[in-house]
Chain A
Amino acid sequence: RKEVEQDPGPFNVPEGATVAFNCTYSNSASQSFFWYRQDCRKEPKLLMSVYSSGNEDGRFTAQLNRASQYISLLIRDSKLSDSATYLCVVNPRSSNTGKLIFGQGTTLQVKP
């Protein structure tokens, strides 16, 4: 079983749609959670950190369910510029020490 699992997609949605991605992780002791965005052939860039019960940033909402060991990302009012791969990331520790464990990524394609 992979440590972090995501549906690779692709998710094809029209502009303005709401889309949700889920991710599950296997280590119940994991402490820090993130969503990174990666454009084609570019580096991953932090989209959101997810702490305790989750957080919201504009059109993006991230939720964490520790009991079920899953993290979700909701994107409202999708824009063409949201087209990218979204990486679910887990850090088993609570500090910046140690490795990040990445999921395979979920590809989103927003169509006009």
Chain B
Amino acid sequence: DAGVTQSPTHLIKTRGQQVTLRCSPKSGHDTVSWYQQALGQGPQFIFQYYEEEERQRGNFPDRFSGHQFPNYSSELNVNALLLGDSALYLCASSPGLGGPGVRDTQYFGPGTRLTVL
């Protein structure tokens, strides 16, 4: 049973560019959340998607946007990249009713490490 997968694993961009990160949730999971983890810090919630809609959003600017597809996979887009956007971007999925896994738990993918130069 495949876990949460993310692509790419690493990415290098320059200031002002745009980036798209991708996530496929664990089989049977219908909710996808995105987090940003700066070096030495805990992950910070960006937003969560359910039924192809943004259900909740953290304290991130509109440069951060997302999408969820009918197969529950998701994308995170960041426009006008800043040096401070350099971080590990984590995707987490949660089980729907009857889905596999512990209720109330989010399962994380390996992350995409973004470096902005």
Which A residues are within 8 Å of any B CB, using their own CB? 4, 8, 32, 34, 41-46, 49, 87, 91, 94-105
The residue that A99 contacts in the complex, of B45, B50, B95, with Cβ under 8 A, is: B45
What B residues does A44 contact at CB under 8 A?
Answer: 43, 90, 108
Say whether A32 contacts B111, CB under 8 Å.
Answer: no
Which B residues are within 8 Å of any A CB, using their own CB? 31, 33, 35, 40-45, 48, 50, 55-56, 58, 88, 90, 92, 94-95, 102-111, 113
Nearest 9 interchain pairs by C-beta: A102-B42, A99-B45, A96-B94, A43-B108, A32-B104, A102-B43, A104-B42, A43-B110, A44-B108
What B residues does A103 contact at CB under 8 A?
Answer: 42
Say whether A34 contacts B90, CB under 8 Å.
Answer: no
The smallest beta-carbon distance between B41 and chain A, in angstroms, is: 6
The smallest beta-carbon distance between A5 and chain B, in angstroms, is: 10
> Given A87-B42, A100-B33, A94 and B104 touching (CB < 8 A)?
yes
What B residues does A96 contact at CB under 8 A?
Answer: 31, 94-95, 103-106
Say whether B105 contacts A46, CB under 8 Å.
Answer: yes
The smallest beta-carbon distance between B45 and chain A, in angstroms, is: 4
The smallest beta-carbon distance between A66 and chain B, in angstroms, is: 17
In the complex, what distance in Å separates the CA atom of A98 from the CA atom of B94?
A: 10
In the complex, what distance in Å separates the CA atom of A55 from the CA atom of B95?
A: 22
In the complex, what distance in Å separates the CA atom of A99 from the CA atom of B95?
A: 14
The residue that A97 contacts in the complex, of B41, B42, B48, with Cβ under 8 A, is: B48
> Given A44-B108, A46-B107, A97 and B45 touching (CB < 8 A)?
no
What A residues does B48 contact at CB under 8 A?
Answer: 97-99
Beyond A95-B103, A98-B55, A105-B42, 14 additional contacts (C-beta under 8 Å) are A4-B42, A32-B104, A34-B105, A42-B110, A49-B102, A49-B105, A96-B105, A97-B48, A98-B48, A99-B33, A99-B58, A100-B43, A100-B45, A102-B35
